[in-house]
Amino acid sequence: MTEISTLGEFGLIRHLTDNIQIKNESTRKGVGDDAAVLDYKGKETLVTTDLLLEGIHFDLTYVPLKHLGYKSAVVNFSDIYAMNGQPKQITVSLGISKRFSVEDLEDFYEGLALACEIYGVDIVGGDTSSSLTGLCISITCIGEADKEKIVYRNGAKENDLICVSGDLGAAYMGLQLLEREKTVFAGEKNFTPDFAGKEYLLERQLKPEARKDIVKILNDNQIIPTSMIDVSDGLSSELLHICQQSKVGCAVYEERIPIDYQTAMMAEQFNMNVTTVALSGGEDYELLFTIPLHLHDQLDMIEGIKIIGHIREVSLGAHLITRDGTEIPLTAQGWNAF
């Protein structure tokens, strides 16, 4: 293993970024100067940032560094897609403790570069520093969008349909599975984790994808959502964000929430209510959005999107309608950093 001190800060940056190739016309200058230079030619600029801390957001006992690099980039891309934009550049800042080698950071950057290659994003700068508390990752993503196509959280209107892409709860069940196997591993010398038949759950936790495809489908069908958010903290939390910022209420139907078979089976094994898992699990990075009622038939024909409820008058509040017709107030029980 190569100690980072043999390269020094600037040598490490050169080592990790020398082979970066620029993909976007808007990137005028990337890594290597005092600041990146971007030119969007009349587009609106979108900026988002995400901080990931070892021991809080990830556990390197079971998270490979290549996967961590990939996920660190993708969660930022997801925020840009949630605005109906396109991610174009990222800056990457790392706080690194002494236990990490150059090869460890190569693995991290390999995952980071793979995500950027798949999503067409440029790495244009960042910073590195030593850390006394493990690995710290801060990524800022810059994106672009046409002014008239940007979607905010505050545009939902009464009678709009509530829609979500993909399925929910799988990432959380993947995390529960990894935590269970970690606990078992701690007490056994010759341990082989039991992941057979649960690959989808692991992938959703370790290697999530941002829904670039959904943004493209909506654009191809000339559908601009009235509000949109990505499901990072749990469906109920995200719905409440939309309701609070749009000053509306909502009704979501339990039977309509999309849940994968592996998620349901794993929830049963853990003696968890699968609806609660879908509502509060988080880290699915699906897109939750609202559209006008008259687009129902058009949206219903699009694969990979499910209509799960509708927007109501604010005085009616935000509720889950259970399978037996009972209305239960939605509460934000998903991820909370504090």
Beta bridge partners of 137: 52, 94
Q: What is the CATH number of the domain that holds 309?
A: 3.90.650.10
The Cα 105–Cα 108 span in angstroms is: 5
Looking at residues 169-179, what average pLDDT do you find? Answer: 95
pLDDT above 90 for 2: no
Task: Quickly list DSSP for 25-71.
Answer: TTEEE-TTSSS-EE--TTPEEEEEEEEEEBTTTB-TTT--HHHHHHH
Tell me whether residue 156 is in a domain: no
Looking at residues 320-326, what average pLDDT do you find? Answer: 96
Instruction: Please check whether residues 201 and 137 belong to one and the same domain.
Output: no
H/E segment holding residue 319: strand 318-321
Instruction: Please check whether residues 114 and 235 belong to one and the same domain.
Output: no
Q: What is the CATH number of the domain that holds 35?
A: 3.30.1330.10
| pLDDT confidence of residue 34 | 55
Please identify, among 147, 169, 191, the residue that sits at the C-terminal boundary of a domain.
Answer: 147
3-state secondary structure of 97: coil
Please identify, among 121, 147, 173, the residue that sits at the C-terminal boundary of a domain.
Answer: 147
CB atoms within 10 A of CB 54: 18
Give percent of the chain above pLDDT 70.
89
Residue 91 is encoded by which pair of tokens? Answer: 């800056």
In degrees rounded to 5, what are phi and psi of residue 230? -95, 150
3-state secondary structure of 132: coil
Instruction: Please check whether residues 64 and 211 belong to one and the same domain.
Output: no
Instruction: Please check whether residues 89 and 165 belong to one and the same domain.
Output: no
Tell me whether residue 154 is in a domain: no
Tell me whether residue 208 is in a domain: yes
Q: What is the pLDDT of residues 254-263, one digit of tens each?
A: 999 999 999 9
Q: Left, alpha or beta for 273 (phi > 0: left; psi -120 to 50: alpha)?
A: beta
| pLDDT confidence of residue 337 | 47
The Cα 210–Cα 213 span in angstroms is: 8
Instruction: Please check whether residues 224 and 257 belong to one and the same domain.
Output: yes
| pLDDT confidence of residue 9 | 58
Instruction: Please check whether residues 178 and 70 belong to one and the same domain.
Output: no
| pLDDT confidence of residue 247 | 98
Instruction: Please check whether residues 16 and 132 belong to one and the same domain.
Output: yes
Q: What is the pLDDT of residues 30-73, one digit of tens each?
A: 656 555 577 778 889 999 999 999 998 999 999 999 999 999 99
Tell me whether residue 77 is in a domain: yes
| pLDDT confidence of residue 338 | 40
Give percent of the chain above pLDDT 90.
74
Beta bridge partners of 176: none
| pLDDT confidence of residue 3 | 78
Please identify, among 95, 117, 147, the residue that sits at the C-terminal boundary of a domain.
Answer: 147
Instruction: Please check whether residues 231 and 270 belong to one and the same domain.
Output: yes
pLDDT above 70 for 290: yes
Instruction: Please check whether residues 95 and 184 belong to one and the same domain.
Output: no
Q: What is the pLDDT of residues 138-173, one digit of tens each?
A: 999 999 999 999 999 999 999 999 999 999 999 999
| pLDDT confidence of residue 30 | 61
The tally of domains found in the chain comes to: 2
Instruction: Please check whether residues 59 and 193 belong to one and the same domain.
Output: no
The most confident of 5-9, 18-22, 306-310, by mean pLDDT: 306-310
* CA-closest candidate to residue 205, choices 285, 261, 141: 285
Tell me whether residue 49 is in a domain: yes
CB atoms within 10 A of CB 338: 2
Tell me whether residue 334 is in a domain: no
| pLDDT confidence of residue 21 | 76
Q: 316 pLDDT band (50/70/90 cuts)?
A: very high
Looking at residues 23-28, what average pLDDT do you find? Answer: 76
The Cα 331–Cα 328 span in angstroms is: 9
The Cα 127–Cα 91 span in angstroms is: 8
Tell me whether residue 115 is in a domain: yes
Tell me whether residue 152 is in a domain: no
Structural domain span for residue 131: 4-147
* CA-closest candidate to residue 327, choices 316, 338, 336: 316
Size of the chain, expressed as the number of residues it contains = 338
Instruction: Please check whether residues 260 and 169 belong to one and the same domain.
Output: yes
* CA-closest candidate to residue 293, choices 159, 154, 163, 151: 159
pLDDT above 60 for 191: no
pLDDT above 90 for 15: no
Q: 25 pLDDT band (50/70/90 cuts)?
A: confident
Instruction: Please check whether residues 124 and 80 belong to one and the same domain.
Output: yes
Looking at residues 84-89, what average pLDDT do you find? Answer: 96
Q: Is 123 or 189 the better-scoring residue by pLDDT?
A: 123
